[in-house]
Chain A
Amino acid sequence: MPDTPLARIRNFSIIAHIDHGKSTLADRLIQATGTVTAREMKEQLLDNMELERERGITIKAQTVRLAYKAKDGETYILNLMDTPGHVDFAYEVSRSLAACEGSLLVVDASQGVEAQTLANVYQAIDANHEIVPVLNKIDLPAAEPERVKQQIEDVIGIDASDAVEISAKTGLNIEGVLEAIVTRLPPPTGDAAKTTTALLVDSWYDAYLGVVVLVRVRDGHLRKGQRIRMMSNGAVHTIEQVGVFTPKMIAAESLGPGEMGYVTAAIKTVADTNVGDTITDDRNPAAEALPGFKPSIPVVWCGLYPVDADDFEKLRESVGKLRLNDSSFHYEMETSAALGLGYRCGFLGLLHLEIVQERLSREFDLDLIATAPSVVYKLKRTNGEEFDLHNPADMPDPSVIAEIQEPWIKATIMVPDEYLGPVLTLCNERRGRQVELTYVGTRAMAVYRLPLNEVVFDFYDRLKSLSRGYASFDYQVDGYEAGDLVKISILVNAEPVDALSFMAHRSQADRRGRQICERLKELIPRQLFKIPIQAAIGGRVIARETISAMSKDVTAKCYGGDISRKRKLLDKQKEGKKRMRQFGKVEIPQSAFIAALKMDA
């Protein structure tokens, strides 16, 4: 396959707020270019993960190569990247943007600009993208294309007079989108004669092919048999296959400058593939790597443990494979007295956490338990030393802590005027500080600074229910601030249960402490001894419950001389104790902790 001339390649991402119709537009583009036969076509074709289809959201960015014969008579190669809209998957968007020269900014013409529209378009502008606004869903009676165009110009500040008005659902004016891609987006640059450089955009594990990497070629070529080198770590591999996505993987001769495609190279070590890395030719390596990606910074951490301790090895392998396909997922090993061996894992948000947990259990058949999510605190000791706290259990004694800083965010909330009151109340309850309050037509745009810790829990759900689903929300991490924060330890029989400890603002401490004590009281079965359950800040108890000793447990009946039966019963009880966790003289079934944590989620 000869190289496609650069002038006839267009690489673009589709970006939008959640549910504004990115994946549906991708469907229409795939269909209009005849890339997939009618028989193979289905809705949101690129959302191929089971979880994406169940939830109707895009989680992973997906690439597909289209061939389009334009009105100018030329055939263009269009590499389309469909991206997720949810803020927790923003890292997928940023990596896609780095691989393209332009973006289609999809805006739902009945809803207008939403929080994620802003977040994503600003990223695209930062990536020097040419942007084509697309007004979708104009088939809806509520669609107001003119008003939305005005809004795009007012709020985002880009020219929307040429916005393409379409209905991705009915297929209206898809041709207009294709022409705009060809005529308004720039072709890639690159040099076939230069030594190979290709950006490693994504990777995943395929049961047949092993590790597969998604690349965007800058200069030179990638072809079968070529020895390539990963510039970040020097790992060398021989290419087994290169190819493109139609969206099925189809092998090709080579990938030339400006092209997107995949490479397999018998890569065994997951650690050898780092997204953002530059792939070059081993014999003729490039002097300088391409600008990579900013590493993603997890904002929420939690512990993940196998329910069955014997599954730890399986978990170890699985997190490695998952990380290959999700570079915004971070993990490090940890041990917990209550839960055994597991991993402390970092995520971009709670939905991300939930999706990862779900993927681990489905794709790797693992039964997992997650500890309460926590944000990353910056601690300063009295001796001046500073460090990051990922796990509340690791918090040193308050007496040696000079200061605790917590992450704050800048949140943008867009909400119809009539729901603004309750939304502002919610923000204030969560220790928020208003930065700005403006109106875009009848929609209010509130910009707030909030402690992330207050948002991590049920903020998003509360926001949605307060506004009947009309509010949209986006945030960026916006520095750290010292706060009156305390670690709340949960003590069972006077011994701390590391998996249950958490950080909270002092003003919330009593309420949260009481809540968890009450919950444990319900969950822990009565034992031979009474069990005090306490929530404490340092040495000070803020809430307490007592599980009283069981009142009666003795075989009433006489079995005569059949002592064997009683002994075997005893043997079984002792066997059952192996699944218990010891707290001084009492033993508590691990299942009680698991249940307590599950109720938190």
Chain B
Amino acid sequence: MEPLALYIHWPFCLRKCPYCDFNSHVRERIDQATWRDALRRELAHEAGRVGRRPLASIFFGGGTPSLMEPATAAALIEDARHLFDPLPDLEITLEANPTSVEAGRLAEIRAAGVNRLSLGVQALDGEALRFLGREHSAAEAMAALETGRRIFPRLSFDLIYARPGQPEAAWRDELRRALALAADHLSLYQLTIEPGTRFATEYARGAFALPEPDEAARLYWATVEEAGRFGLAPYEVSNYAQPGAESRHNLAYWRYGDYLGIGPGAHQRLLLGGEMLAARRHRAPEEWLARIARQGHGTVEEEALVPTDRAREALLMGLRLAEGIDPARIAARSGLTLAEAVDPAMLLACIEEGYLEWTETGRLRATDEGRMRLDAMLPVLLR
């Protein structure tokens, strides 16, 4: 039976970062007890619908879940362990921001059962951190990484690169310093301008420029190369890990597995009775709370996806992975064979061009060249 991945969303941050379009909100006061109860209720509600299942991972994401009282995390982990059948190596990740306040809580978070920490470092350069509107300094980031590595069996952190005017040499240097901190996993994202963010307004006004695609490509190759020297391979477009240290939780998304999403704005995919049910919770924290109080869940949309949509989703996620996709699994999860899901002439053209390849085990994967151009390839390839 397909194991479950469980996502729990904490929708609050101390301040909104200018590039961020995640479902995160700034509030003066947060009633921790109310939020704990509400998240637990929604979890219980969804668990009741899926029934008992093996549980492979829990992920506390945000927002800034390190602002959550560790007791809340503990209670939710406890519930999940009872509602499902946890696998022996259950992965429990929590995203934390490296401000000193949050760093002080890391031991308690570990005690709550979290065994993997993901730190939002974003940059190791003071100027860049200010540009990104972050609350922490480079020194605080280093300290948090140091503590995290001591306390957690597994550690990952995020960096944002391809920042305005960032020279390749400077990025290589910053990245090397990051890699020296001996994390087993890194998420290295190129800065993306998201509509509706403060950066979008400033960018449109010409306040700053991003690297041209050619330069962005060079930075990408530099990243792959530097990470490789430290034994971290790009197993996904922006994610690098030592063999075996991949984020099991995120792999569930990319492999188009079943996942529950609890909390405001969380998404969910569940294959139930032959139907792929896609659900989404209300994004606004207060409205979501009100719905929990009223009906026990915050779901605003739930639909059974048609096979073409299922195939599109499975492929657009799966081709992000270095391992590629297993045609049999695509068929099982989408109801369409690979031949039905893609345009065969385009598949051939992409293979000829060296963008896609068949592996010895019969998987279809995007080559490095192909993965770099995935957004352009998908609309051409998929039906």
Contact = CB atoms under 8 A, between A and B. Distances in A.
Contact of B379 (A526, A564, A570): A570
A557 B220 CA distance: 13
B375 A560 contact: no
A528 B376 contact: yes
B259 interface: yes
A561 B261 contact: yes
Contacts of A207: none
Interface stretch (A25-33, A470-478, A500-508, A546-554): A546-554
B346 interface: yes
Nearest to B211: A552
A556 B267 contact: no
B378 interface: yes
Nearest to A576: B379
A560 B264 CA distance: 14
A558 B189 contact: yes
A560 B62 CA distance: 10
Interface in A454-496: none
A516 B325 CA distance: 43
A209 to B, nearest CB: 52
B99 interface: no
A39 interface: no
B372 A551 contact: yes
A1 interface: no
Interface in B172-231: 187, 189-192, 194, 213-214, 216-217, 220
A567 B373 contact: no
B10 interface: no
Name, among B350, B376, B382, the residue most crowded by chain A CB atoms within 10 Å (CB to CB).
B376
Contacts of B341: none
A549 B377 CA distance: 11
Contact of B213 (A550, A573, A576): A550
Contact of B7 (A560, A563, A577): A560
Contacts of B214: 551-552
B309 A585 contact: no
Interface string A560-586: 111110110011011011000000010
A439 interface: no
A578 to B, nearest CB: 11
Pick from A526, A527, A528, A577 the residue with the most CB of B within 10 Å.
A528
Interface in B78-135: none
B189 A552 contact: no
A577 B343 CA distance: 14
A122 interface: no
A564 B253 contact: no
A561 B253 contact: yes
B374 interface: yes
Contacts of B374: 553-555
A221 to B, nearest CB: 70
Contacts of B353: 528-529, 549
Given A561-B253, A570-B379, A573-B379, A556 B237 contact: yes
Contact of A558 (B250, B259, B355): B250
Interface stretch (B30-38, B40-48, B146-154, B311-319): B311-319
B189 A551 contact: no
A571 B311 CA distance: 13
Given A550-B373, A553-B375, A567-B313, A529 B349 contact: yes
B333 to A, nearest CB: 12
B284 interface: no
Contacts of A528: 350, 353, 355, 373, 376-377, 380
Contacts of A562: 267
B72 interface: no
A556 B189 CA distance: 5
Contact of A561 (B238, B259, B382): B259
B245 interface: no
Tier of interface size on chain B: 35 or more
B269 A563 contact: yes
Contacts of A551: 213-214, 216-217, 372-373
B233 interface: no
B192 A555 contact: yes
B349 A555 contact: no
Nearest to A584: B349
A552 B373 contact: yes
A566 B316 contact: yes
Nearest to A530: B353
B371 interface: yes
Nearest to B219: A552
Nearest to B5: A561
Contacts of A587: 380
B266 interface: yes
B189 A557 contact: yes
B317 A563 contact: yes
A119 to B, nearest CB: 55
A530 to B, nearest CB: 9
Interface core residue of A554, A564, A576 (most chain B CB under 10 Å): A554
A558 B213 CA distance: 19
Contact of B238 (A527, A558, A566, A571): A558
B285 interface: no
Contacts of A566: 313, 316-317
Interface in B249-303: 250, 253, 256, 259, 261, 266-269, 278, 280
A556 B238 contact: yes
A12 B187 CA distance: 86
A577 B379 contact: yes
Given A554-B375, A564-B278, A570 B382 contact: yes
A558 B267 contact: no
A132 B301 CA distance: 86
A563 B373 contact: no
A562 B317 CA distance: 11
A573 B253 CA distance: 22
Given A560-B61, A573-B379, A585-B346, A554 B371 contact: yes
Interface string B309-349: 10011001100100000000000000000000000011001
A550 B376 contact: yes
A577 B373 CA distance: 17
Nearest to B314: A563
B376 A553 contact: yes
Contacts of A550: 213, 373, 376
A553 B375 CA distance: 6
A587 B343 CA distance: 14
A560 B378 CA distance: 19
A580 B366 CA distance: 25
Nearest to A551: B217
A552 B238 contact: no
B253 A552 contact: no
A554 B349 contact: no
Given A554-B237, A556-B192, A556-B238, A561 B373 contact: no
Given A551-B213, A551-B214, A552-B220, A560 B253 contact: yes
B259 to A, nearest CB: 6
A567 B267 contact: no
Nearest to B383: A574
B313 A563 contact: yes
B189 A553 contact: no
A526 B309 CA distance: 27
A561 B380 contact: no
16 contacts: A528-B355, A528-B376, A528-B377, A552-B214, A553-B372, A553-B373, A555-B237, A555-B375, A558-B239, A560-B253, A561-B7, A561-B267, A563-B253, A563-B278, A574-B379, A577-B379
In order of increasing CB-CB distance, the 3 nearest A-B pairs are A573-B379, A556-B190, A551-B217
Given A555-B374, A561-B266, A587-B380, 14 more contacts: A528-B355, A528-B380, A552-B216, A555-B192, A557-B189, A558-B250, A563-B269, A563-B278, A563-B317, A567-B309, A567-B312, A571-B312, A573-B375, A585-B345
Interface of B: 7, 61, 162, 187, 189-192, 194, 213-214, 216-217, 220, 237-239, 250, 253, 256, 259, 261, 266-269, 278, 280, 309, 312-313, 316-317, 320, 345-346, 349-350, 353, 355, 371-380, 382
